[in-house]
Amino acid sequence: MFIRIRAAQAAAMTVTVGATCLALPAGAAHAATTCSTGVWVASYYANTTFKGTPKKTTCDTSINENYGTGDPTGVTLPKDNFGVRWNLTRDFGSGGPFTFTAAARDGIRVHLDGTRKIDLWKDVTTTRTKTLNLTIPKGKHTLRVDYAAFKGSANVKFTYTPRTTASVDKTKPLAPTGLKAVYSTGTYKATLAWARNPEADLAGYRVYRRTGSGAWTRISGTAAVTRTSYTDAPAPTGDAYTYAVTAVDKAGNASGRSAGATVTSADRTGPAAPGSFTAASGATGNTLRWTASPGATRYEIQRAILPGTAFTTAATTGATTYEDTSAVLEQPYAYRVRALDAAGNASAFTASAEATRDSTAPPVPTGLTVAAETTDGVSLTWTGGGGDTAGYRVYRASSANGARTLIGSPERAAYADLTGDPGRPYWYQVAAVDAAGNESARTTAVSAAQTAGPDDAPAAPTITSYFQGTTLTMIFQTDGYVPADHYVVYRSRTTPVRPEGGAELVAGSSGLQLILTGVTDRDYHYAVVAVSRAGATSGYSADHLPVWQPATLRTTEVYETSQGDGTATLRWGVGVGEPGLTVDGYRVYRSTSPGVTKETATQVAFLPGGDDQFTDTGLSNGVTYYYAVSVVYNQGESGLSPEVALTPHS
């Protein structure tokens, strides 16, 4: 602040107020003056029109002067009719609401970016004050204050103050810029630094951190950080930590986050200890197992001879199982495991587990008997093997000398086999096993079968059949262990032969053979279902098309073939039958797989009885086709000729 004194006293004085600037003696030529950011450049004129070269230019941290009835200190001006112009250019950040307050005796004018906002330009004898609320846009702006001391006492004051009431200020600060983070492997700390925000109402900063792509967490506490630096100590886990900073103003508005800065901490943290650690005695060695530890690259196995010796490292492995084959037989050991990560950090050890290598099998069980044969299965009992028996193994075979299959491992001397086919006999044996996995010899085999229940069905039957004149003979066979009480026969002109597809019920048979007479239509397909005594039904047989097979009827024979470009030609001998039979024609069947049958092959031609050859066209060169021919007599169709294989070629 300048105190007004007589001009003669101040003629040779230079005063710098609140900022760095270049100040000249009174009367010296004007020179450029540079002031710090946010500091006013003050220029003094010997007039109130601000014409000509200023008598002095200096820096002011504020505008708050009382000149009395003299001129400003440090510059020679007339005691009346002099002027002072203050200029300030600064970055207002995101801008926002401000209050301009001007007080002067005499004249004062306030400009924002060249636009006049306050005008009290008059010679007065008392101080006048004016307050103005306005919003300053974001970015850089220039303030200019012109003051005129006309006559008599002179004083001037101007302030621009952000309005920080939350109900008024809704403008968020700009996000901080220039964030950098440096990590020290000596202190395990991250040091952050960023550029200061230009907002006039800034309250401070908030610091955030996240691990990898996780959620952001504020780490700077509830109070705003007033510095532009921060030190953090992230966990030394070897993870990447990303930092960001927000600015917060006095109204509580917070900016968006700054660009992130990432550091990777030193890895000094071991993984979690392995889980579910067990040790099992074995014949060839003791087997250790555990569950994996996240982040572990290998595991250290330690063992101690019991009783009372210290643990020593026995091995390291990248797997989660280990067999200690170097363990001495019948010697008890204690084991423990810990996880190691890629940096060599170790977890805690697991709790210890004990095991003893054992190669001696337990005694053979005795007294294996069949306790029950029911519709649910076969129940077996026996007397335990004794010794160090830990459990049993039950084996089953489909015949007295058949291969044995392990079907169960009970811990007590009893077992129920619920997996056999009803009615089928099986042969069973049992062996004892100890904790080390040593298995005894097996017991003598006993035979038993699960009783067939009311819901157990026979196996699906197979059919063979043939026509002799108008008589159709069908023979059934089932290979299952549940006997069939009778059979139900269905027929249909299309396949599959199913009642839901329109197939009709032909007949039922209580035996393994069904004879139907007066059958003149030979184009039906047949299917059969076997029914147990309790009424349980099997699945359907394969669809079947009967063939003509009188004793003296012969199939034809293909005696000449040739193949060409996309073609195959076959010739056959004319079928010869018994007296009274005539040949109505021939059917040619084709398949791309060997084993031609009427059910699986495609009929590609029907030729009149006088023809004896056929050429198949439109075939793919290089593909082998299989053909067979049947004779259609006036009383039915014969079986197929022996098949022939033809491969078209260009």
Mean predicted confidence (pLDDT) in 561-572? 92
Q: Residue 92: which pLDDT band, with cuts at 50, 70 and 90? A: very high
Structure tokens at 402: 């058949």
What CATH class does 180-264 carry? mainly beta
Report the pLDDT value the prediction gives residue 264, as an integer from 0 to 100. Answer: 96
Structure tokens at 297: 């690259």
pLDDT in tens, 459-475: 999 988 877 778 888 88
Closest to 265 (Cα-Cα) out of 301, 289, 238: 238
Q: Residue 577: which pLDDT band, with cuts at 50, 70 and 90? A: low
Q: Residue 30: which pLDDT band, with cuts at 50, 70 and 90? A: very low
Give yes or no on whether 7-162 and 366-449 have one common fold.
no
Closest to 498 (Cα-Cα) out of 545, 540, 544: 540
Whether pLDDT at 529 is above 90: yes
Report the pLDDT value the prediction gives residue 575, as an integer from 0 to 100. Answer: 58
Q: Please indicate whether residue 245 or residue 8 has the higher confidence score (pLDDT).
A: 245
Structure tokens at 77: 């001006």
How far is the first Cα of the chain from the last one, in angstroms, to the nearest whole number?
114
Structure tokens at 158: 């101007």
Say which DSSP state 479 is in: -
Mean predicted confidence (pLDDT) in 580-592? 86
Report the pLDDT value the prediction gives residue 553, as an integer from 0 to 100. Answer: 47
Mean predicted confidence (pLDDT) in 628-650? 86
CATH architecture classification, 558-646: Sandwich (2.60)
What CATH class does 7-162 carry? mainly beta
Specify whether the CB–CB gap between 201 and 225 falls below 8 A.
no
Out of 3.40.720.10, 3.40.50.970, 3.40.50.1100, 2.60.40.10, which CATH number does the structure's domain 462-547 have? 2.60.40.10
Domain parsing of the chain, residue ranges: 7-162, 180-264, 275-356, 366-449, 462-547, 558-646
- Provide DSSP, 409-478: --SSSEEEE--SPTT-EEEEEEEEEETT--B-PPPPPEEEEPPP-TTPPPPPPEEEEEEETTEEEEEEE-
Say which DSSP state 377 is in: -
Whether pLDDT at 1 is above 50: no
What CATH class does 275-356 carry? mainly beta
Report the pLDDT value the prediction gives residue 519, as an integer from 0 to 100. Answer: 86
Q: Please indicate whether residue 15 or residue 168 has the higher confidence score (pLDDT).
A: 168
Q: Residue 511: which pLDDT band, with cuts at 50, 70 and 90? A: confident
Report the pLDDT value the prediction gives residue 551, as an integer from 0 to 100. Answer: 42
Other residues' Cβ atoms within 10 Å of the Cβ of residue 513: 12
pLDDT in tens, 312-368: 999 999 999 999 999 999 899 999 999 999 889 999 999 999 999 998 899 999 999
What CATH class does 366-449 carry? mainly beta
Query: Which of 174-183, 233-242, 386-395, 459-468 has the lowest average pLDDT?
Result: 459-468
Whether pLDDT at 214 is above 60: yes
Say which DSSP state 10 is in: H
Mean predicted confidence (pLDDT) in 614-629? 94
- Please give the Cα distance from 533 to 453 (Å, whole number): 10
- Provide DSSP, 33-57: ----TT-EEEEEESSSS--S--SEE
Report the pLDDT value the prediction gives residue 13, as an integer from 0 to 100. Answer: 29
Express as a percent the part of the chain with pLDDT over 70: 93
Closest to 569 (Cα-Cα) out of 604, 613, 611: 613
Specify whether the CB–CB gap between 90 and 196 falls below 8 A.
no
Facing residues of 486 across strands?
531
Q: Residue 554: which pLDDT band, with cuts at 50, 70 and 90? A: low
Mean predicted confidence (pLDDT) in 226-247? 96
Structure tokens at 42: 């003050």
**Residue 472 φ then ψ, to 5°:** -105, 120
**Residue 470 φ then ψ, to 5°:** -105, 15
Mean predicted confidence (pLDDT) in 516-526? 88
Query: Which of 219-228, 268-277, 569-578, 634-643 has the lowest average pLDDT?
Result: 569-578
Structure tokens at 73: 């200190």
Q: Which residues have CB under 8 Å from 283's CB, separation 6+?
A: 357, 358, 359, 436, 437, 438
* Mean per-residue pLDDT of the chain: 89
pLDDT in tens, 277-319: 999 988 899 999 999 999 999 999 999 999 989 999 999 999 9
pLDDT in tens, 39-61: 999 999 999 999 999 999 999 99
Closest to 583 (Cα-Cα) out of 616, 612, 544: 612
- Please give the Cα distance from 188 to 214 (Å, whole number): 21
Reported as type and span, the H/E element at residue 636 is strand 636-640
List, in sequence order, every beta strand (DSSP E) within 281-320.
286-291, 296-305, 312-317
Report the pLDDT value the prediction gives residue 595, as an integer from 0 to 100. Answer: 92
Report the pLDDT value the prediction gives residue 435, as an integer from 0 to 100. Answer: 84
Mean predicted confidence (pLDDT) in 178-195? 96
Where residue 165 falls (left for φ over 0; alpha for ψ -120 to 50; beta otherwise) is beta
Whether pLDDT at 549 is above 70: no
